[in-house]
Structure 1
Amino acid sequence: MNRKLLAAATALMVFGPAMSACAGERPAGSPKPEMTVLEHYSKAPFAAVPSLPECTRMTGMRGNPAEEPSTLMVQMDGGCAATTHWHTANEEMLLLQGAIKAQIVGQPEVDVRAGAYILLPARSHHRFRCVSEEACILFLVADRPFDVHNVGEHGKEISAEEAIRAAGRAR
């Protein structure tokens, strides 16, 4: 078999089921897929999260972040700071509104404006703060369960309560 034919056959075996699903074909008995539409991010039902500072709210868009890959939206009040932390998941973000300063520990701080994409690799110690007067809105995708490990000044893990107190001092 020549290389092009082998590549095409391999692609059909690997991507065939996915292409069938995209074309509307489903295995018998499987639930009908539903589309999720949020007309505008300003209409997202943001809610406080007990382990985060009051100035940060979140809403789930897809998946259970405690158990699987998920999509979230995050709203941070102007001036709100997220202290140094890390996640088991890679964190991909699109800044929809506002301006933030983001930093991976040991690297320069980066100015990020609305429309920008950010990738924070799994286990990277990072922090950011909303530096605009308006709230910062982030569209966030985690490729694994989304845990938060807060880190203190000397790189040791700290409790959520300690991180919230530190975030209050950082404002």
Structure 2
Amino acid sequence: MSLSRTADSEQLQWRNCPEFMPESCEIAVLQGDPTKPNADVFFKMQGNTSVPNHWHHSAERMVLVSGEMEVNYKGQEPEILQTGAYAYGPPEKPHSASCLSDETCLLFIAFNKPVDAFLAE
């Protein structure tokens, strides 16, 4: 068993998100290799910012660690996630997200396929 890591852990290496996402967006790998299946990451974005419509090859299993976030999947009603909420995002389904709080939104995401993100048209 490996030790758990927190968002402020000095062991975490925060990296920029893809170019189409807000500049404040960062990702840190918690476990696994993001180029291979079954990686877990922290995704964070500054309060009061939004991520444009995008999609992933993988399903996403998510828990909001801090903040308040609205997630909007194509063809579904938008959902507001509160701290501690679990959400499932189906693979290849376009979606957007907004950090509604003034504080940073921190999201734990488990991917079952390699981590990727593509701007949706």
- Write out the 4+ residue segments of structure 1 that deviate beyond 6 Å after TM superposition: none
Segments of 5+ residues of structure 1 without an aligned counterpart are 1-33, 153-171
If each structure's helix is expressed as a fraction of its own residues, which one has the higher value?
A: 1
Instruction: Confirm or deny: 8 A CA contact 2:18 2:117 kept in the other structure.
Output: no
In structure 2, how many angstroms separate the alpha carbons of the residues matched to 1:151 and 1:106?
A: 14
Q: Which has the larger radius of gyration?
A: 1
In structure 1, how many angstroms separate the alpha carbons of the residues matched to 2:68 and 2:18?
A: 24
Report the identity percentage.
25
Aligned pair count reads: 118
Segments of 5+ residues of structure 2 without an aligned counterpart are none
Q: Deviations over 1:54-101 (max 9, x none)?
A: 110110011111222200001110012111111111101100000011
Match of 1:91 among 40, 43, 60: 60
**Greater relative contact order (CA < 8 Å, ≥ 6 in sequence):** 2
Instruction: Confirm or deny: 8 A CA contact 2:16 2:26 kept in the other structure.
Output: yes
* Residue 8 (structure 2) aligns with: 42
Q: With the length of structure 2 as denominator, give the TM-score of the two structures.
A: 0.88
Aligned-residue CA RMSD in angstroms? 1.5
